Amino acid sequence: MRGTRKAAGVALTLAAALTLAACGGGGEEEPAAGGDTAAEEGGEGGAGGEGLTIGIKFDQPGLGLKEGDEYTGFDVDVAKYVAEKLGYSEDQIEFTEAVSAQRETLLENGSVDMIFATYSITDDRKERVAFAGPYFVAGQDLLVRADDEDIQGPEDLEGKILCSVSGSTSAQRVKDEYAAGTQLQEYQGYSECVESLAAGTVDAVTTDDIILAGLAAQPQYEGQLKVVGNPFSEERYGVGLPQENDQCEDINAAIQEMIDDGTWEELIAKNAGENYTPDPDLNPPTEFEACA
């Protein structure tokens, strides 16, 4: 199904270039490793003809994780559920990596059909892509070393070294609202940030609480790290789509069904881990994006 959208992709790329030129800077738009070539090679397999190429995270345990040929996590399971409702069997799905800074580009240039990758719905992103959902609402938080009593929230970051990911709302919010006196290091993925935190070269990692909880729960960090537990944003996870799409309504209907039939609850229980509880005032989501 990617072929049908190539022309739209070219038009959108031009629009994106104009947006970038208007914004200046543009440092976040550099191509990242992984992702597009794999998507171009495959995705057309499957018994029913055309397949579906879905962008996910590869390094976020409990959300999107690649281990060998296995893909696990809440985003992956939601993607499979939605794909099935759209008429795709599991063997028609090709998962490809969508790092935070690359998501809009992958949708614009047709490398992926949709993205399930802890992808917050924002007005800025809607200039370039469309969203269905949300299917989950997280909150930005901080991860610190277990013995750290100084950092209780974003206002305690003065003089600290903070790590986050390029192209994320997490890094952007810190720059917009809290950066004064904080040294922000930006990597391509949160797993790299957490390695630096455990090694002592950064003081805190910031992104969504559910992502931090999944990373901290890995056996190699047992007893070493803790999520502060003081969320300071609402991150509504949407299904990223190209602006030209005819699936937004069907995806919203599939998400509603997933919530109504109890699958959403099951998938959270299976993936979120015992140290994380979704905010019950915001989950499961009750209001979806209006599709264009």
List residues near ligand GLU by CB under 6 A. Answer: 100, 117-120, 165, 168-170, 207-208, 211, 235
Which amino acid is located at 96 in the chain? T
d(CA 176, CA 257): 37
Nearer to ligand GLU, 142 or 211 (CB): 211
Beta partners for residue 71, in sequence order: 66
Nearer to ligand GLU, 117 or 272 (CB): 117
Give min distance, CB of 118 to ligand GLU, in A: 4
Position of minimal CB gap to ligand GLU: 168
Nearer to ligand GLU, 111 or 169 (CB): 169
Nearer to ligand GLU, 1 or 106 (CB): 106
Nearer to ligand GLU, 1 or 197 (CB): 197
**Three-state DSSP string of 46-109:** CCCCCCEEEEECCEECCCEEEECCEEECHHHHHHHHHHHHCCCCHHHEEEEECCHHHHHHHHHC
Tokens representing 93 are 């799905």
Nearer to ligand GLU, 82 or 174 (CB): 174
CA dihedral 45, 49, 50, 52 (to 10 degrees): -60
Is-cis flag, bond preceding 284, omega within 30? yes
Tokens representing 249 are 């309504």
Give min distance, CB of 168 to ligand GLU, in A: 3
Give min distance, CB of 7 to ligand GLU, in A: 28
Give min distance, CB of 149 to ligand GLU, in A: 26
Of the CA atoms within 13 Å of residue 108, those in its CB half-sphere come to 19
Nearer to ligand GLU, 9 or 238 (CB): 238
3-state secondary structure of 164: strand
Give min distance, CB of 58 to ligand GLU, in A: 12
Give min distance, CB of 110 to ligand GLU, in A: 21
Give min distance, CB of 184 to ligand GLU, in A: 14
Asked if residue 232 lies in contact with residue 153, where contact means CB atoms within 8 angstroms, the answer is: yes
Strand 70-72 versus strand 64-67 pairing type: antiparallel
Question: Which of 198, 14, 33, 194 lies closest to 108 in space, CA to CA?
Answer: 14
Q: What share of the chain is helix, strand, coil (3-state, %, to 5)?
A: 40, 20, 40
